[in-house]
């Protein structure tokens, strides 16, 4: 297709632009009322959306319907209802009238292309072929070729509209207005006019228009527009909420912290729209190929028509011209030119629906060939939050051990102490804590309800000559050992919690023969323990950022395709070095969207496998279309040049290949990942 669309800051579609103008930001004056083949209704759904859509589709098909009816009547007069008046100029004019609704737009496009310097276009091929058919008296074939070509173009336009639907769903997540609280009253205000610091009231079922800070005690939100996951996410007072989230329960209030155009969803939409303009290597090759292929086809057709004059005794010009016209019809590259970009567009749309943002179709190709996935540990495979994983109490109840320890830890600001307090869930209240002393590098000493409590690492126990369980020395994770009145009382095992789907993610990657490597700055013992639990192939700990770069360089020396998964900020050098840089949890960080090639909007490691799978399926579909087009066209080209195929067979083969390729391309949008 020859046109794409742009959107303004409100998500409203703007005028169609050519591929060469797609990055031109100046065309933002008027709303779009055109598609690649005809007018399209872009009005919002107001209860009449369906009828508007049907009317638009009918308008697209109307010229073809008129042409088809006139063609069938003419064929009927030619073969079944022979009339004396349907001869000579009457017959010619009738077929010209039948040709005009579908042929005139194509001839016009051919002249426009020539005027712009693009002489050898598919429009020129179809124009020459059909006008040539008229010149040798093959009027029905001339009309039929253009008619079926037009029908194929309409189906292409409908397929592109369908492919855009997933991205348009994202556009629909940005409300144009929001309810603002001002001087104790509520007023409706355009979202683009709301300023930072204003307070939005969000009713149940409403979508948030701008990013902000939750002022209500809590709110349950549907985040599917941003993450692809419909599971509700509960936010607490003070937490950040993003445009596009849907409030599920009670009325909530949000203080705006980001301008409308700078919201997270706006940036995501901008990235997805730009991604459709960044072409994959295969896509670029086909476009270059078509520019070379089309003039070659035209000159070959000329050769088929005139060269036999030198070698064939009974040379008949009309017969060889007819063969040349068949050659032109079947050689039209439209099946490749539309189905391949459509396949990549569908892949990007399917990925965005699953909460995965590709920054261009080229990364779909790269992900399809990934051999090694290198992952950071913290924030990628683990949650990056210290949690109490295990409590062991000796000669004391676990409840009392938790109560005394958490009470003492309230006097510390160490993250480990915070993990114990969260685990205690308030049991430390109504407990007297006195004489607290922090021993640097060891832990805490103090009195809780008159009992002397020691809480710290094994060095603290050794300092006070307290005998503890020797198995503690062999544990790779953080251990807080407790002594009460100079006697060992148990310990807390604290570790970074592994994400729920991390094990499934690694297993899925192994199933498609992708090797897994984990790099981390944590101590090697901790890294080994996590790797063993998740069954990761190789794991390296005690690494600085430059050490991570060295490890990736070692893998690249083996000519392996590598994807690196991290936070996209601290690991920027490794992200740049890898063939594909993937940012986890991009929802919370602007920098991740800027740094990575692919952004996974939530924190699910399994989406790494999903991204690879979408890339593989997209590439598979694209190459199926390429193979289908070349094989069928090659066969019919030979048959046509040899006089064994008619123009009817040529047009059915051409349109049939195009439609099969289109149907195959849109298949990815129906796939479940």
**Among 444, 476, 498, residue at a domain's last position:** 498
Residue 509 lies in a domain: yes
Residues 161, 56: Cα–Cα separation, whole Å: 12
pLDDT digit string, tens, across residues 499-509 = 889 999 999 99
Residues 536, 467: Cα–Cα separation, whole Å: 36
pLDDT at 563: 94
Residue 332 lies in a domain: yes
C-beta separation of 669 from 349 below 8 A: yes
Are 569 and 543 part of one and the same domain? Answer: yes
Residues 64, 148: Cα–Cα separation, whole Å: 8
Residue 272 lies in a domain: no
Picking from 522, 536, 418, the residue whose alpha carbon sits closest to that of residue 480 is 418
Residues 36, 152: Cα–Cα separation, whole Å: 12
pLDDT at 401: 93
Are 579 and 662 part of one and the same domain? Answer: no
Q: Where are the beta strands (DSSP E) in 400-467?
A: 433-439, 443-448, 451-456
C-beta separation of 321 from 129 below 8 A: no
Q: What are phi and psi of 521, to 5 degrees?
A: -85, -10
Are 429 and 476 part of one and the same domain? Answer: yes
Chain-centroid distance of CA 506 in Å reads 22
Are 162 and 54 part of one and the same domain? Answer: yes
Are 159 and 283 part of one and the same domain? Answer: yes
pLDDT at 7: 36
Picking from 40, 35, 32, the residue whose alpha carbon sits closest to that of residue 13 is 32
pLDDT at 543: 82
Where the chain has pLDDT below 50, the residues are 1-55
CATH code: domain of residue 550 = 3.40.50.1000
Are 627 and 557 part of one and the same domain? Answer: no
Residue 45 lies in a domain: no
Catalytic sites, residue numbers: 376
Are 332 and 286 part of one and the same domain? Answer: yes
Residue 255 lies in a domain: yes
**Among 498, 531, 554, residue at a domain's last position:** 498
Are 75 and 158 part of one and the same domain? Answer: yes
Residue 337 lies in a domain: yes
Are 330 and 405 part of one and the same domain? Answer: no
Residue 177 lies in a domain: no
Start-to-end CA distance of the chain, whole Å, equals: 28
Q: Please state whether beta strands 515-519 and 372-376 pair in parallel, antiparallel, or not at all (unpaired).
A: parallel
C-beta separation of 530 from 518 below 8 A: yes
CB atoms within 10 A of CB 647: 25
Are 434 and 535 part of one and the same domain? Answer: no
Residue 588 lies in a domain: yes
Structural domain count, the chain: 5
Are 367 and 397 part of one and the same domain? Answer: no
Picking from 525, 550, 553, the residue whose alpha carbon sits closest to that of residue 539 is 525
Domain that holds residue 211: 195-259
pLDDT at 460: 92
pLDDT at 269: 66
Are 112 and 126 part of one and the same domain? Answer: yes
């Amino acid at each position: 297709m020859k046109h794409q669309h742009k959107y303004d800051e409100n998500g409203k579609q703007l005028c169609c632009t050519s591929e060469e103008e797609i990055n031109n930001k100046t065309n933002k004056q008027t709303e779009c009322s055109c598609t690649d083949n005809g007018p399209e209704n872009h009005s919002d759904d107001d209860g009449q959306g369906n009828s508007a859509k049907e009317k638009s589709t009918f308008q697209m098909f109307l010229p073809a319907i008129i042409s088809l009816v006139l063609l069938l009547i003419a064929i009927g007069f030619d073969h079944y209802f022979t009339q004396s008046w349907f001869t000579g100029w009457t017959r010619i004019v009738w077929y010209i009238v039948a040709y005009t609704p579908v042929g005139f737009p194509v001839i016009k496009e051919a002249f426009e292309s020539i005027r712009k310097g693009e002489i050898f276009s598919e429009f020129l091929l179809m124009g020459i072929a059909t006008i040539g058919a008229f010149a040798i008296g093959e009027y029905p074939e001339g009309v039929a070729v253009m008619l079926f070509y037009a029908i194929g173009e309409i189906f292409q336009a409908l397929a592109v509209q369908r492919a855009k639907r997933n991205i348009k769903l994202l556009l629909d997540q940005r409300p144009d207005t929001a309810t603002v609280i001002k001087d104790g009253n509520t007023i409706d205000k355009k979202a683009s006019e709301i300023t930072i610091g204003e307070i939005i009231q969000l009713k149940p079922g409403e979508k948030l228009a701008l990013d902000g800070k939750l002022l209500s005690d809590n709110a349950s939100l549907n985040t599917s527009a941003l993450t692809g996951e419909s599971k509700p996410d509960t936010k607490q007072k003070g937490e950040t909420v993003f445009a596009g989230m849907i409030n599920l329960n009670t009325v909530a209030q949000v203080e705006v912290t980001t301008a409308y155009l700078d919201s997270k969803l706006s940036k995501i939409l901008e990235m997805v729209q730009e991604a459709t303009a960044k072409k994959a290597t295969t896509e670029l090759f086909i476009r270059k190929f078509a520019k070379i292929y089309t003039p070659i086809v035209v000159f070959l057709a000329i050769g088929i028509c005139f060269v036999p004059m030198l070698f064939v005794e009974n040379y008949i010009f009309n017969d060889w011209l007819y063969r040349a016209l068949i050659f032109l019809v079947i050689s039209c590259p439209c099946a490749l030119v539309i189905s391949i970009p459509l396949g990549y567009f569908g892949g990007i749309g399917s990925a965005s629906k699953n909460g995965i943002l590709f920054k261009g179709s080229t990364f779909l190709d790269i992900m399809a060939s990934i051999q090694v996935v290198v992952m950071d540990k913290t924030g990628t495979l683990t949650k990056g939050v210290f949690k109490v994983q295990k409590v062991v109490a000796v000669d004391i109840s676990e409840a009392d051990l938790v109560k005394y320890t958490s009470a003492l830890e309230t006097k510390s600001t160490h993250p480990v102490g915070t993990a114990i307090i969260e685990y205690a869930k308030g049991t430390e209240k109504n407990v007297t804590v006195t004489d607290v002393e922090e021993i640097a590098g060891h832990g805490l000493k103090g009195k809780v309800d008159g009992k002397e409590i020691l809480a710290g690492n094994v060095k603290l126990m050794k300092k006070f000559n307290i005998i503890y369980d020797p198995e503690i020395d062999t544990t790779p994770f953080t251990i807080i050992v407790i002594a009460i009145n100079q006697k060992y009382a148990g310990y807390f095992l604290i570790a970074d919690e592994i994400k729920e789907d991390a094990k499934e993610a690694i297993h899925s990657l192994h199933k498609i023969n992708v090797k897994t490597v984990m790099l981390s700055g944590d101590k090697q013992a901790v890294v080994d323990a996590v790797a063993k639990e998740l069954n990761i192939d190789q794991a390296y700990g005690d690494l600085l950022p430059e050490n991570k770069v060295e490890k990736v360089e070692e893998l690249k020396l083996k000519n392996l395709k590598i994807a690196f998964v991290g936070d996209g900020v601290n690991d920027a050098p490794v992200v740049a070095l890898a063939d594909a840089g993937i940012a986890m949890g991009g929802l919370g960080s602007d920098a991740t969207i800027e740094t990575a090639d692919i952004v996974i909007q939530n924190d699910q490691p399994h989406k790494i496998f999903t991204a690879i799978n979408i890339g593989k399926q997209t590439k598979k579909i694209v190459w199926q279309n390429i193979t289908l087009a070349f094989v069928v066209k090659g066969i019919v080209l030979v048959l046509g040049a040899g006089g064994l195929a008619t123009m009817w067979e040529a047009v059915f083969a051409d349109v049939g290949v195009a439609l099969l390729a289109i149907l195959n391309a849109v298949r990815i949008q129906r796939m479940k990942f």
